[in-house]
Amino acid sequence: MHKIRISAIQSGSIAEELGIEAGDLLLSINGCEIKDIFDYRYHIADSEISVEIEKKNGDVWQLEIEKDEAEDLGLEFENSLIDEEKSCRNKCIFCFIDQLPKGMRDTLYFKDDDARLSFLFGNYITMTNLSDSEIDRIIRYRMSPVNISVHTTNPELRKKMLNNRFAGDVLEKIRRFTSNGITVNTQIVLCPDVNDGKELDRTIEDLTNLHPYLHSISVVPVGLTKFREGLYQLRPFDKEMAQNVVEQVESWQNKLLGKFNSRIVYLADEFYILAGRSIPPYHDYEDFPQIENGVGMVASFIQEFDDAIKEITYQSADSHIDIKFKKVSIATGMLVYNHIRDIAERIEKELGVKVLVYPVENTFFGKNITVTGLLTGYDLMRELKGKDLGERLLLSRNMFRAGTGVMLDDVTCDELEDKLGVKIQIVDNCGQALIDALVQS
C-alpha cells in the first residue's frame, strides 16, 4: 500500500478538528489508494467520504467525514504532487533551459512536463510523455483546464521542433480533451523561418476549429540567450518581422470575433513593443487567459494603475493622503521601460513623488532577453551602482524566486541593498501594488 506522509495541517481545517497531525500517514480515501494529487483531488470532492489514516503510533483510524462538496480536508504534503514530477524528454530547438549557462542552481535545469503541474499551477506541457491511460484519467477526473505547448499542428514539423519522433499527434490528443469537455489553453513559441507564416496560419486554424473547449492560444516570440553554442540556428524577431506577425494575428482575431465572438488567439506584449505598435486596450484581452505568458500584462498593469490613481485622487479631495517617499527608483527590463517611464511621469504629476526609472540591459543572458523577470542581481549591480536611487529602490517580484528574495543568479535582496546602498522594496507586478508602495494606507 502506498502510504503518504502528511507534512502539515491547515489551521481551522477538517483535518485539525479530527485530530490528524503532521507525521501521520494517509492510507486511502473511499477505499482507494492515492497515488498522486489527481487521485487526492478527485476522491475528496464528494460531500461524504471515508478517510483511512495511520497515526504515528501505528494505530489506524477510519474516519467518516461529511463536508461541503469540493471542500478541502486541510492536509498538506511534502510534495505538492504527492508523486514525483515528470520531466521533459524532448530536445526542443527553442528550449530556454538548454540555453542557460553552467553553474546556476540545479532546480533551474529541471524541465517539467507534468499534466498535474499544468492543472495545479498553469504550467504548459508537450503531452509527449502522457499515455492514453493518463489522458483517460484526466477526462474521467474532469481535471480542467489543461495547458499545452503546441508550437505547430503540422505533425512532421512538430517532430522536428521537439526532436521527438512521437510528437506529431498533438492535435489528436487535444481533440480527445475538447470532445470530452476538458478546457484547453495552448501556447505557440514562434520561431522565425520555422513555424511562422503559413505554418502559423495552419496551427491557428486547426486549433480554433476546436473552440469553445479550445479556449485560448498564445503566440510568444522565441527567447534566445547568448549561450546557444551547438544548438539549432535560430534568429530573433526584428521590427519588420514583428509587424508582420501582429498584422497576421490581428487578421485572425477579427475573423474569429465575427465567428465565435472571441479573439481566441493573443500575442505576447513583446510583439507589439518590438513592432512599435500600441498595446491593445484592456478589454481586447477578454478574460486574460494567458497573462502568465506575458500576454496582456502591460494592459492589465496600466488598467490597475489607472484605477488605483483615480481612487487616490478621489480620496485626496476629501482627506490628506500620506505619501511615504519623496523620491524612489525603479529598475526594469528594456522591454517595458517606456511604459514604466510614462507611469512614473504620471506619479510625479499626480502624487508629487519623483520616480527615477532605470532600464537595465541583460548582459547575463544576452541583449536579446529584454523582459524584467529575467534580470539578474549581477546586471542590477552593474547598471545601478553609483546612481541616484532615492529613498527606495522598487523591484518587481517576478525578478525573484517565488516566496524568496533570491534572484536567478542567487544574488539576494540583502546583498543588493549592501552593494547599492539603498533599501529595496519588492513590489507585486500590478498597478495597485505600485501605488500601495508609495502611499500610506
Q: Are 38 and 116 in contact (CB under 8 A)?
A: yes
Handedness of CA 322, 325, 331, 336 (dihedral sign): positive
Task: State whether 229 and 346 are in the same domain.
Answer: no
Task: State whether 36 and 176 are in the same domain.
Answer: no
Residue 409 lies inside a defined structural domain of this protein: yes
Residue 205 lies inside a defined structural domain of this protein: yes
Task: State whether 239 and 327 are in the same domain.
Answer: no
Q: What is the pLDDT along the chain (441 residues), one digit of tens a residue?
A: 688 999 999 999 999 999 999 999 999 999 999 988 888 888 898 899 999 999 999 999 999 999 998 789 999 998 877 777 777 888 999 999 999 888 888 777 777 777 777 777 778 999 998 889 989 989 998 889 999 999 999 999 999 999 999 999 999 999 999 999 999 999 999 999 999 999 999 999 999 999 999 999 999 999 999 999 999 999 999 999 999 999 999 999 999 999 999 999 999 999 999 999 999 999 999 999 999 899 999 999 999 999 999 888 766 655 667 888 999 999 999 999 999 999 999 999 989 999 999 999 999 999 999 999 999 999 999 999 999 999 999 999 999 988 889 999 999 999 999 999 999 999 999 999 999 999 876
Q: Are 36 and 26 in contact (CB under 8 A)?
A: no
Q: Distance between CA atoms of 279 and 297, rounded to whole angstroms?
A: 10
The phi and psi torsions of 269 (rounded to 5 degrees) equal -55, -35
Residue 121: give its domain's CATH number: 3.80.30.10
Residue 84 lies inside a defined structural domain of this protein: no
Q: Which of 77, 106, 139 is the last residue of a domain?
A: 77
Task: State whether 13 and 133 are in the same domain.
Answer: no
Residue 326: give its domain's CATH number: 3.40.50
Residue 19 lies inside a defined structural domain of this protein: yes
Residue 247 lies inside a defined structural domain of this protein: yes
Residue 45: give its domain's CATH number: 2.30.42.10
Task: State whether 307 and 377 are in the same domain.
Answer: yes
Task: State whether 180 and 230 are in the same domain.
Answer: yes
Look up the domain containing 343 and give its range. 300-438
Residue 190: per-residue pLDDT: 98
Domains: count for the chain: 3
Residue 90 lies inside a defined structural domain of this protein: no
Q: Which of 266, 294, 322 is the last residue of a domain?
A: 294
Q: Which of 28, 73, 76 is CA-nearest to residue 53?
A: 28
Query: What does the CA dihedral 418, 423, 427, 433 come to, rounded to 10 degrees?
Result: 180
Q: Where are the alpha helices (DSSP H) in 122-228?
A: 132-141, 155-162, 170-178, 198-208
Residue 89 lies inside a defined structural domain of this protein: no
Task: State whether 314 and 208 are in the same domain.
Answer: no
Q: Which of 276, 294, 312 is the last residue of a domain?
A: 294
Task: State whether 129 and 234 are in the same domain.
Answer: yes
Task: State whether 345 and 277 are in the same domain.
Answer: no
Which residue type does 195 have?
N
Residue 83 lies inside a defined structural domain of this protein: no
Q: What's the Cα-to-Cα distance from 159 to each of 93, 206, 221, 241, 397, rounded to whole Å?
A: 11, 17, 20, 25, 36
Task: State whether 283 and 304 are in the same domain.
Answer: no
Task: State whether 37 and 147 are in the same domain.
Answer: no
Residue 222: per-residue pLDDT: 97
Task: State whether 114 and 256 are in the same domain.
Answer: yes
